[in-house]
Amino acid sequence: TLDGGGIRGYSELLMLEAIMERIKEQKGMETTPLPCSYFDVIGGTSTGGIIALMLGPLKMSVADALKVYENLGKAVF
């Protein structure tokens, strides 16, 4: 799950980005997989819930979610 509020969500995305890159390398993939195509369940609370929506139903890449979160963070935090 992606839990916690505020800027912690950004660090969660950075960690997830590293995980997805490692999966790409270990599986010999050409492109980084989307979290929604690799994980069965993505959930979270607070800003983690917003991130879960971006990565799950909206099928965003971690890189795209980071961009949105940066813009959202400037407006909200």
State the pLDDT at residue 30. Answer: 97
Span 8-26, pLDDT tens digits: 888 999 999 999 999 999 9
Under-50 pLDDT residues of the chain: none
State the pLDDT at residue 77. Answer: 64
Residues 6+ apart with CB under 8 A from 22: none
pTM of the model: 0.86
Residue with tokens 């980084």: 32
| Nearest of 27, 33, 22, 23 to residue 63 by alpha carbon | 33
State the pLDDT at residue 45. Answer: 87
State the pLDDT at residue 4. Answer: 65
